[in-house]
Amino acid sequence: MIEVKNLVKTYGTKGNLFNAVDGVSFVIPSGTSVAILGKSGSGKSTLMHIMSGLDKPTSGEVLIDGKNLMLLKQKDIDIFRSNKMSFIFQSFFVQAKESCYDNVSLPLEIANVAMSRRRAKIESALAAVDLSDKIKARAKELSGGQKQRLAVARAIVNSPQILFADEPTGNLDSVTGGMVEDLLFGYSKKNKVTLIIVTHDFDLATRCEVQIHLKDGKIDSINGLK
């Protein structure tokens, strides 16, 4: 369960203050798929960064399973993120010169997963995104859609509880984008993983159980929450 309480994030200096996120509160039950919608500049990326502990709010709280992220030390937030969270980005951020295996291995290394247990996890993650045959291929040899599937494999390899996706299909055509969407929603359903998608794509948003619309840093509307 993710609880967001009265989050405010202010940028700028005195006299020229600007609230990117302005008093946002909501509760997301575990295993829900959520779309955060809004135009560019609406504060949706900042909100995601704060929820994932990458950024600190000016005021307000984020509680994940009752744990207040704001009270944790940087080191503990890092450990928390490596064990419980994962990210998918619009421009993939796969390491072009590394093999698919090494790309997917990175989160396991960061989370200190023992060597002996890594191979099985990596193989099953690559199988889940249908890239088993590319395990030794370098990431730069892959097509755009394959790269994003590789990114999905990297995101799910350490069995996270929360998956953040920032415009996951923004750089893909509708067919390959659809494949990536199916992967994300299928994985989220099957493993009861909370999926938080930041997007301005309404079609993608409607596939989520909950839609949070942001406008100028404030919640415009929330659909789907009971």
Partner 1 sequence: MKLRDITIRAGRSLRQAKARTLLTSLAIGVGAFTITLSFAVGAGGRDYASSIISSNTNPQELFVQPKQDAAHDPGKPKKYSDVQTANFGGNFTMKVLKQTDIDKIAQIKNVVSVTPIYSVAMKYIKAPNSDKYTTTVRSYNSAVKLDFVAGGASGIEKNGIILIQNFVEALGFKDANDAIGKTVQIAIDKYNNGTTPLETKLFNFTVTGVVKSSVLAASPINGMQIYTDNLKAMYDYSQQGSSNYGIFMGAVALAKDGVNVDTVKADIAAAGYDPQTAKDLMSFIFQFIDVLQAILVGFGVLAVLTSVFGIINTQYISVLERTQQIGLMKALGMRRRDVGRLFKLEAAWIGFLGGAIGSGLAIIAGTIGNPFISQMLNLGDTKLIVFEPISIISVVVGLVVISVVSGILPARKAARLDPIVALRTE
Contact positions toward partner 1, by CB under 8 A? Answer: 49, 52, 54-55, 74-75, 78-83, 85-87, 89, 91, 93, 95, 97-98, 102, 106-107, 109-112
* CB of 85 or CB of 210, closer to partner 1: 85
Residues 90 and 86: their CA atoms lie apart, in Å, by 14
* CB of 156 or CB of 210, closer to partner 1: 156
Phi and psi at residue 44, to the nearest 5°: -70, -35
Q: How far is the CB of 146 from partner 1 (least distance, A)?
A: 18
Q: How far is the CB of 45 from partner 1 (least distance, A)?
A: 8
Among 108, 160, 110, 153, which residue's Cα sits nearest to residue 129?
A: 153
Beta pairing partners, 214: 219
Which residues, 6+ apart, have CB-to-CB distance to 169 below 8 Å?
148, 177, 178, 180, 181, 199, 201, 204
Q: How far is the CB of 140 from partner 1 (least distance, A)?
A: 11
Residues 182 and 73: their CA atoms lie apart, in Å, by 36
Q: How far is the CB of 106 from partner 1 (least distance, A)?
A: 7
* CB of 105 or CB of 211, closer to partner 1: 105
* CB of 83 or CB of 223, closer to partner 1: 83
Q: How far is the CB of 196 from partner 1 (least distance, A)?
A: 14
Q: How far is the CB of 226 from partner 1 (least distance, A)?
A: 31
Phi and psi at residue 134, to the nearest 5°: -105, 15
Token readout for 48 is 């995601």
DSSP-assigned states of every residue in 130-193: T-GGGTTSBGGGS-HHHHHHHHHHHHHTT--SEEEEESTTTTS-HHHHHHHHHHHHHHHHHHT-
Residues 83 and 155: their CA atoms lie apart, in Å, by 11
CA geometry: angle 97, 163, 104, nearest 5 deg: 25
* CB of 32 or CB of 86, closer to partner 1: 86
* CB of 39 or CB of 189, closer to partner 1: 39
